[in-house]
Structure 1
């Protein structure tokens, strides 16, 4: 058997963290077994589905690198197939026309609530041997309902939660086609999983109650059943359901905030799954390790600090040219001046150890790509008459010193010794004159990166 998994989002909103984790686990399971990963867009909710949401899903999958083997398939392009299967169910007696209005169905439910019973459709139009059906109201269009079994249980061995049993008495006859003929969610999902030969359905546990309905439809069609695994939800750091205030925004907000896809993937992989004490691993390692036996049955908590820590790790590992390409547009928006400035990759290499996001990296690297504007009070405090002679000597010797970090560090020490100064007395005014700020990497590294001409020009501007 070839393993076939699917990710089937509804384009009624953006691809969020929970959906991205579901996609990752489905993708990894297929990759682990050399199977196929299918992308399906479940767009039958015409009122809420939008082209923008579809594109956001595709963009999110592309950014994460979760490439599908088949698809994307769109349910709205499969209407003829759904109508064919509905006709098949009507012909076999597994579905029937129902002429009740929504108001009549709601009245049924209210009567059952008042009687202390579970509110549901009461089967008014369900054909049974010896039963006389009501007269068809003139001009009223029917829905099509699935004839759910009245007795027995639906049991499946959930790949995450273990055995789950739901009584058919808990389920009413769900609508599988609306009055305009458009099919409904659970029906379309069952038909799609059948047609696409899905072997493993990995999805959020908000779908547990849909599973028995889909199993009954597949049984009525004589279709083989996939195995189902339902992932616990992701909670915010406060233990509440993940929401926008916790970061449950579009996945595409994360590259905008300066996160690398490999950091997000590594983080999502550890949300509800573990491999011993391993915290950092490549997607190749993840796919080779991944199985459903080590998925947690309890909810996972989203931790921004952990994600930032992982992002810092991957930024430090990343190629400097790649990082430069990612941060340059951010720096350009901030007014960075690249002409006559240091090589951006070199600045990235110097600054990337100390940042958690690409936006922080862009901000940190800006000191090399803008004119220094030190605070006047700070300059007065550090550029004193006592230190100016040392700075003038340093500037003069910068004209001929070998321009490498070792030689520049030696020059600093020589200047300090000659004028009996401590390193901060010289380094602080140098930082202010060269960058406009007091916090920078090692001053010899900063001087080397700026280059001789820029250093001499900026020192001369302040000292003469």
Structure 2
């Protein structure tokens, strides 16, 4: 295999998890850094767990992230089809070849048979495994004659195909991230390769597909590391060249031990999926990063650094820069702990780097009628005042709502701090005077300064109650900037309303 070819092979059994996004991203970055191909293959042989709409969700999520496959069910390619459910004839062909070897056998044991022997083992304080010890006392083609096996097949008795694990053999395995290690085959059981419905399991189908699609590197989660010995032997059994393997560490919970889960997201208030996902059975909606207001480039940047560090520990990188710097050998062995605060920080950095016109497009692409109906000229004045403080584009409206509507109430702490009889007198006078102020140039601050001086008070004595009148609390950009956007008539009306309504 001279050309680098990698595949991301999710199962359509639900929404794409953050860990799945990272696997797809590392696949993509590695392929592109090596001038290779990135393949999306849908592994939909587990019909019992299939979730309607999950495949479309996966494709839409990758597209939103900017992780575009070179080959997929949608994009096609010379190794099509790219859904396992459409590749049955290919599996059947290779299964027939495998059954000619000493690496596989047919097993007719029913679930009830296996439960019975499992109980026997438990009564003796042992754990049952279908392996080199037990297979010779079970109902399979190793213990039955050829005639008996054929008779059962002719009678359409259900069966599975199992891998015949060699006895007491040391396998020397190698992983790009984790290095070299050894496994004794006696610790491995005889995995099912083909189920009794004729569909292959992950173990067999992915080996066949990776060979057929000329996959050079398999990058996947560490949960598949215990299966590496079996997969090595399957390649050996078929007489095929093995790809190189790299097993990614877990993305960890924000607190405590273990893998990041949806429950953690619900508990700490962050999504674990790239897009909203509506469960077709319950109708429940799981939150997604896109709908929560995250920018796709910020999201991908955050995901990339959950287990990999670029040169000089840079944190802000475009997808192109990631491709140029990505090195699979520098992916961390240890798990990466997810941080909601860090995720928000990435989005804040990317939002700040957007031009005002780009942020305007984000604001206009919303269901918020106040934003949609606001003139672009007004919004382009508000954006630079609020962008630096915002984590999400929606914060520009949420934190700057006073630009769009007058305060309906006044924060209690702010009132106690800035409102008294002197403030009422100052604001009453200011409401009349500011109609003569010049709102069109940089002199507005000087006008307010002169007003304060004429009343023999410091600027703070004017600015604090003035901000309260305009905003409803003591926050926001510089008061003169707020006033210029609101206009003198609106400012005067808000001051009068405060004077009349603040107790």
- Matched with 1:178 is 195
TM superposition shift of 1:372: 3.0
Q: How many residues align?
A: 460
Instruction: From 301, 308, 313, give the equivalent of 2:344.
Output: 308
Pairwise CA RMSD of aligned residues? Answer: 3.0
- Matched with 1:88 is 97
Question: CA 1:409/1:133 → structure 2, altered by over 3 Å: closer, same or farther?
Answer: farther
Deviations 1:135-178 (A, max 9, x none): 65555222222333334233221111111322222233322222
Instruction: From 226, 247, 254, give the equivalent of 2:289.
Output: 254
Of 110-119 and 168-177, deviating more is: 110-119
- Matched with 1:47 is 48
Deviations 1:264-293 (A, max 9, x none): 222222212113332222222222111122
Question: CA 1:64/1:353 → structure 2, altered by over 3 Å: closer, same or farther?
Answer: same
- Matched with 2:85 is 76
- Matched with 1:272 is 307
Instruction: From 383, 389, 395, give the equivalent of 2:434.
Output: 395
Instruction: From 209, 220, 235, give the equivalent of 1:203.
Output: 220
Q: Distance in 1 between matches of 2:83 and 2:454?
A: 76
- Matched with 1:120 is 130
Does structure 1 residue 156 correspond to structure 2 residue 173?
Answer: yes
Q: Distance in 1 between matches of 2:474 and 2:449?
A: 19
Does structure 1 residue 371 correspond to structure 2 residue 406?
Answer: yes
Question: CA 1:394/1:158 → structure 2, altered by over 3 Å: closer, same or farther?
Answer: farther
Question: CA 1:172/1:133 → structure 2, altered by over 3 Å: closer, same or farther?
Answer: farther
> Do 1:260 and 1:311's aligned partners in 2 also have CA atoms closer than 8 Å?
yes
Q: Secondary structure at the residue paired with 2:48?
A: coil
Does structure 1 residue 346 correspond to structure 2 residue 355?
Answer: no
TM superposition shift of 1:441: 0.8
Does structure 1 residue 423 correspond to structure 2 residue 459?
Answer: yes
Does structure 1 residue 169 correspond to structure 2 residue 189?
Answer: no
Deviations 1:160-205 (A, max 9, x none): 1111322222233322222221221111111111111111111110
Gaps in structure 2 of 5+ consecutive residues: 74-81, 266-270, 276-287
Question: CA 1:343/1:74 → structure 2, altered by over 3 Å: closer, same or farther?
Answer: farther
Does structure 1 residue 293 correspond to structure 2 residue 316?
Answer: no
Q: Distance in 1 between matches of 2:32 and 2:489?
A: 54
Q: Secondary structure at the residue paired with 1:203?
A: strand
Does structure 1 residue 15 correspond to structure 2 residue 16?
Answer: yes
Q: Distance in 2 between matches of 1:66 and 1:337?
A: 30
After superposition, where does 1:97-136 map in structure 2 within 5 Å? 97-112=106-121, 114=124, 116=126, 119-121=129-131, 122-123=134-135, 124=138, 127=141, 136=151
> Do 1:259 and 1:311's aligned partners in 2 also have CA atoms closer than 8 Å?
yes
Deviations 1:207-247 (A, max 9, x none): 11222222222222222111111111111122322122433
Does structure 1 residue 145 correspond to structure 2 residue 162?
Answer: yes
Instruction: From 425, 431, 446, give the equivalent of 1:386.
Output: 425
Instruction: From 213, 217, 221, give the equivalent of 2:234.
Output: 217
Gaps in structure 1 of 5+ consecutive residues: none
> Do 1:416 and 1:422's aligned partners in 2 also have CA atoms closer than 8 Å?
yes
> Do 1:391 and 1:426's aligned partners in 2 also have CA atoms closer than 8 Å?
no
Q: Distance in 1 between matches of 2:460 and 2:376?
A: 26
TM-score (norm 2): 0.82
